[in-house]
Amino acid sequence: MKKGLFGKLMTVLFLSTFFLYGFSHLGVFAYETFFVKSLNLSKHAAVASINLGGANKEEAMKILDEKVEEWKLNQNLLLDFNGESAKIDPSLFQFHLEESIEKLVDDESTSLIVTMDENAFDAFLSNQFPNYRGEDINLPSLIEYLLSLAGSLHKEESVKIYDYAASNESPQVIFEAVSNELEVTPTIKSFIDNYPSIPIAPNSQFSFSDFLETEGFVVESQADLSPVASLLYQITLHSNFSIIERNISKLLPDYVTLGFEAKFNPMNNQDFVITNPNSTGYELKLAIQENRIKAQLQGIPFPNSYNVRLSEKETFPPRVIKQFSPFVEKGSVDIQQEGKDGVLIRVYKQKMSSSGEILSEELINEDFYGPQHKIAVYPLQELQETPSGTFDNVPTGTNGEEATNEESDDGEKNETSSMDDEDNESSSTGKESEGTADQDSSSPSDDQVKPKKKERK
Give the chain's radius of gyration (CA, Å): 34
Residue 11 pLDDT > 80? no
- Of 342, 336, 457, 449, give the one whose Cα is nearest residue 408: 457
- Of 329, 407, 331, 327, give the one whose Cα is nearest residue 375: 407
> What distance in Å separates the CA atoms of residue 290 and residue 108, rounded to the nearest whole number?
59
In the prediction, which pLDDT does 452 show? Answer: 38
In the prediction, which pLDDT does 387 show? Answer: 55
Burial of 82 by CB count in 10 Å (0-12 exposed, 13-18 middle, 19+ buried)? middle
Residue 268 pLDDT > 80? yes
Strands in 9-135 per DSSP E = 46-47, 50-51, 76-81, 84-87, 93-96, 109-110, 113-116
Q: Which of 28-32, 162-166, 201-205 has the lowest mean pLDDT?
A: 28-32
In the prediction, which pLDDT does 18 show? Answer: 66
In the prediction, which pLDDT does 86 show? Answer: 92
β-strand pairing of 109-110 with 46-47: parallel
In the prediction, which pLDDT does 347 show? Answer: 94
In the prediction, which pLDDT does 444 show? Answer: 47
Every domain of the chain and the residues it spans: 46-164, 169-303, 309-429
In the prediction, which pLDDT does 223 show? Answer: 87
Tell me what the pLDDT averaged over the chain comes to.
78
In the prediction, which pLDDT does 253 show? Answer: 92
- Of 18, 98, 108, 19, give the one whose Cα is nearest residue 60: 98
pLDDT, tens only, 409-438: 343 333 333 333 444 444 444 433 333 334
In the prediction, which pLDDT does 54 show? Answer: 76
What type of residue is 57?
K
| φ, ψ for residue 248, nearest 5 deg | -130, 160
Residue 138 pLDDT > 50? yes
Sheet containing strand 204-207, edge to edge, reads 204-207, 273-276, 242-247, 427-431, 436-439
> What distance in Å separates the CA atoms of residue 233 and residue 129, rounded to the nearest whole number?
34
**What's this model's pTM, rounded to 2 decimal places?**
0.54
In the prediction, which pLDDT does 9 show? Answer: 72
CA distances from 310 to 263, 274, 381 (A): 19, 21, 49
pLDDT-derived band at 278 (thresholds 50, 70, 90) equals confident
In the prediction, which pLDDT does 261 show? Answer: 95
Q: What angle do CA 429, 370, 325 make, to 5 degrees?
A: 140
In the prediction, which pLDDT does 4 show? Answer: 66
pLDDT-derived band at 234 (thresholds 50, 70, 90) equals very high
CATH architecture of structural domain 309-429: Single Sheet (2.20)
> What distance in Å separates the CA atoms of residue 233 and residue 306, rounded to the nearest whole number?
13
pLDDT-derived band at 394 (thresholds 50, 70, 90) equals very low
Burial of 284 by CB count in 10 Å (0-12 exposed, 13-18 middle, 19+ buried)? buried
> What distance in Å separates the CA atoms of residue 231 and residue 388, rounded to the nearest whole number?
54
Report helix, strand or coil for 219.
coil
> What distance in Å separates the CA atoms of residue 119 and residue 446, rounded to the nearest whole number?
61
In the prediction, which pLDDT does 153 show? Answer: 93
In the prediction, which pLDDT does 131 show? Answer: 76
List beta partners, residue 204: 276
Who wins on pLDDT, 159 or 430? 159
